[in-house]
Chains A and B, each alone.
Chain A
Amino acid sequence: MKTKQITLTILAFVAGLGAVPAVAKLNVVATTPDLGSIAAAIGGSQIQLTILAKPTEDPHFVDAKPSFAVKLSRADVLIEGGAELEIGWLPPLVDQAANPRVRYGSPGRVLGNQGVSMLEIPEILDRSKGDIHAAGNPHYLTDPANAKILAARLAETFSQLDAANAATYRANLARFTTTLDAKMAEWLKLMEPHRGRHVAAYHNSWVYFAKRFGLVIEDFLEPKPGIPPTPGHLSAVIAKMKAERCRVIICEPYQNRKTAEKVAAETGAIVVDVTQFPGGVKGTEEGYIAMMNHLVVSVAKALDAGR
């Protein structure tokens, strides 16, 4: 009898937990802060947003924390890059979460790169070339045009899953797009004088940014993607940068700034702290547009100074 009572109590407790009042808000999980900030711009206060990766950490190597699986198990929408950036940690989380709403094929699973023209899709997959991504370079949101594609897709997904707020999502999309278009014109103007100039980076994550703003970002401190810099490679980069009159090195929060500084000292270049993730460096916390603004303005400033 006593056992039965205890069992009933436990069952009641568990049932109570399960029946946490379902607020009508759409539960959205984004893998990285760039995807998350665009979701926030479109979803506004209508969604409950969780971002898994920190803006300061290396998005390729996030830990598959069990708490993430719990977040995914409750999600209505999962937004991921779609280009294998999160391949080292997202798949086991989705398996663990046992949530059919965020599996592939469900309307709630959003691949951010859908509709984006991916660059650097390798013709042959060969790991002797370093850590390359079969789907192409995954850092596509450094081109605002791709952010617009994603924003439209998110508005569509949110409207589909939460029809009651469809008008709000559409209005948010319009506002986001208008602001971004206006800023885009500003940014292009700012970068116009620097068209064709060389910029060095730690990791090959700027191909979309370079293409959009007419820069040449082909000197990397890493000899191959994911392989740490070696003295031999760095001296080759230094020689190349001098020949190209390359005066700017961009460095992300988790990358080794000391290495960048060493190369800068040899080449007379300026190290610029930038991020692809809102919140990664100071002044980018506000969201995607603030992050892009910081990126363009600080790179343009450094290019001005390093003439």
Chain B
Amino acid sequence: MKKICLTLAAIGMAAVLGAAGAPDTNRLDALEKQLQDAQAAFERTVREHQQLMESLRRQIEALRAAQTGRTNIESPPSTIGQGSKGEPASPAGTAAASTAEKSSWTPSSPIRLQRGSAYMDIGMVTTLALGGSTAKDIEGGLQLGGHDPNQRGFTLQGMELNFAGAVDPYFRGNANVVFMLDSAGESHVELEEAWLETVSLPGRLKLRAGQYLAEFGRQNPTHPHTWGFVDTPLVLGRFLGPDGMRGLGAQLSWIVPTPFYSELFLGVLNSHGETMYSFRFDHEDELFLGRLHQGGRVKGLDYLTFVPRYAASFDLTDNQTLLAGISGAIGPNASGSRARTFIGGVDLYWKWKSPRHHAGFPFVSWQTEAVVRRYEAGAFSNAADDLNGSGTIDPGEADLYGDGSIRTLPREWLTDYGLYSQLLWGFKQRWVAGLRADWVASDVARYEAIWGRDPERAPRFRLSPNLTFYPSEYSKIRLQYNYDYRQRLGPDHSIWLQLEFSLGAHAAHKF
């Protein structure tokens, strides 16, 4: 660059001198020679630069071609949670590079994210439902799950984005963000999970931290697209909440060195927030178990929820596997000071898969979870709303129960229990038939003895047969019928058609 400047300056100077019109021919000749020299120098410089640019261009092309070849080859090693870091380059890469020239990327080609081509796998799953029910309270009454069909007509059950990959040699990371439309058509975003987990701790230990689905039972730690049915089991919706039990916290897990699979988990989570439904969720100033709840932040150790779990598995035969677990969730709730909740559950999963299965079919699986909740409900009274001390709630005063009454509830222990059991039969490649039975019940609380069964606790039964067709691994169409029987409300019939599709690189599922 400097050379060009100098040359240009020389030319400029020569021109100025020339314009001066000096009569001396010797000087004129000298100037002419100088000008010719300068011109030659300039041309030489330009030529040199052109050559340099041409060689650089060739190098870039060669690099690009080599890279295209290598991405093709390097894609296999990286899978969820396992970056290709430190992976020695495959010698096959060179073979591919020679043929890659014709397929090198141009700005007009589409950009496609694939497994292992970036430092993160990105996947998307969208679930839609169409259907209806004889019940009038589909959302929040009939259907307990936050991602269940919530109205007659169409429901967007969720559009889940998953991001996963190796963070570095020490951690793997995972995040799930769910976009959804409520029954009114308004958009919501939920951060379902965002956590990192160690991959290189010794002694078969794993430590996870962040926002995560608590390891309670079999279904709670999983995402809806892996479920065998359109909706959340009643027992999980009632005790763990519409969105499952999840929150900010940490979890330690350890594969116990037994001859069979056996693993211990201990999770610790903040006890507040709407996804800690039976713990310190304030229930948004609505009555829950007959009372108003008071939320608040963590103040000490006794403000945390602990979730221990033990799981064990046995291969009964070459083709049959049993996985059993026992889980607990222990922490404070928001119904009063020092009020606590205990949830306990057992789960069982059995699967038979043909030794000559094709694409995973045929198979039969059976899954059952039974859960008990002991909820210590604090004493409560709305007497403070009676501002004028008249003994009833008068117009102008906050009328919590809607009938002008002042009610005083004692501190009491509420026991709820229930189970679901489901059978799936993959009878033919791509086809699965399912049957699920749900049942929930509870003791009658003292507050209910006064004014009747709380729909949140009243006995309920549901039977759900369904049929699913998987056009491929990446899409499914499911038809499900629900027969519901709720105490006092009677029977209801619902039918739902579910459609699901996924794009991108989605993590494979655990057993």
Residues of A within 8 A of B (CB): 14, 17-18, 20, 54, 56-58, 60-61, 63-67, 69-70, 73, 82-84, 87-92, 94-100, 103-105, 111, 113-118, 121, 123-125, 127, 130-131, 133-136, 226-228, 253-256
Among B76, B201, B258, the residue within 8 A (CB) of A17 is: B258
Residues on B with beta carbons closer than 8 Å to the beta carbon of A67:
260-261, 313-315, 321
CA distance A94 to B206 in the complex (A): 12
A61→B199 contact, CB < 8 A: no
Closest 6 CB pairs of A and B: A105-B86, A135-B76, A66-B261, A66-B313, A61-B360, A91-B79
- The answer to whether B291 has its CB under 8 Å from any CB of chain A is no
CA distance A67 to B507 in the complex (A): 20
Shortest CB-to-CB span from B163 to chain A, Å, is 15
B87→A113 contact, CB < 8 A: no
**A64-B510, A88-B508 given; A18·B199 CB < 8 A:** no
**A54-B355, A61-B360, A117-B95 given; A91·B511 CB < 8 A:** no
Residues on A with beta carbons closer than 8 Å to the beta carbon of B263:
66
CA distance A123 to B172 in the complex (A): 29
Residues on A with beta carbons closer than 8 Å to the beta carbon of B204:
73, 97-99
B80→A104 contact, CB < 8 A: no
Given A94-B81, A95-B172, A114-B91, output 7 extra A-B contacts at Cβ < 8 Å.
Answer: A14-B256, A57-B355, A67-B260, A95-B81, A97-B255, A98-B204, A226-B473
Residues on B with beta carbons closer than 8 Å to the beta carbon of A70:
255, 260-261
B80→A56 contact, CB < 8 A: no
B80→A113 contact, CB < 8 A: no
Residues on A with beta carbons closer than 8 Å to the beta carbon of B257:
14, 17-18, 20
- The answer to whether B353 has its CB under 8 Å from any CB of chain A is yes
Instruction: Spot the interface stretch: B110-118, B134-142, B154-162.
Output: B110-118
Residues of B within 8 A of A (CB): 72-73, 75-88, 90-92, 95-96, 103, 110, 112, 114-117, 166, 169, 172, 197, 199-202, 204-206, 253, 255-258, 260-261, 263, 311, 313-315, 318, 321, 323, 351, 353-360, 429-430, 472-474, 507-511
Residues on B with beta carbons closer than 8 Å to the beta carbon of A65:
313, 315, 321, 511
Among A92, A94, A135, A228, the residue within 8 A (CB) of B429 is: A228
**A57-B355, A116-B92, A254-B357 given; A226·B472 CB < 8 A:** yes
Residue of B nearest to A125 (CB): B114
Residues on A with beta carbons closer than 8 Å to the beta carbon of B110:
124
CA distance A228 to B96 in the complex (A): 31
Residues on B with beta carbons closer than 8 Å to the beta carbon of A61:
357-360
B255→A69 contact, CB < 8 A: yes
B473→A131 contact, CB < 8 A: yes
A105→B87 contact, CB < 8 A: yes
CA distance A89 to B500 in the complex (A): 21
Residues on B with beta carbons closer than 8 Å to the beta carbon of A105:
85-87, 169
Residues on B with beta carbons closer than 8 Å to the beta carbon of A131:
472-473
Among A63, A114, A133, the residue within 8 A (CB) of B511 is: A63
Residues on B with beta carbons closer than 8 Å to the beta carbon of A84:
75-76, 79, 115
Residues on A with beta carbons closer than 8 Å to the beta carbon of B201:
98
**A98-B206, A103-B200, A113-B90 given; A135·B323 CB < 8 A:** no
B103→A123 contact, CB < 8 A: yes
A-B contacts, 28 of them at CB < 8 A, read A14-B257, A58-B358, A58-B360, A61-B359, A64-B509, A82-B76, A84-B75, A84-B115, A88-B473, A89-B508, A90-B79, A94-B82, A95-B81, A96-B510, A99-B204, A100-B200, A113-B92, A115-B90, A115-B91, A118-B73, A124-B112, A127-B472, A135-B75, A226-B472, A226-B473, A228-B429, A253-B356, A255-B358
Among A54, A82, A98, the residue within 8 A (CB) of B77 is: A82
Residues on A with beta carbons closer than 8 Å to the beta carbon of B473:
88, 131, 226
- A54, A66, A103: which has the most chain B beta carbons within 10 Å? A66
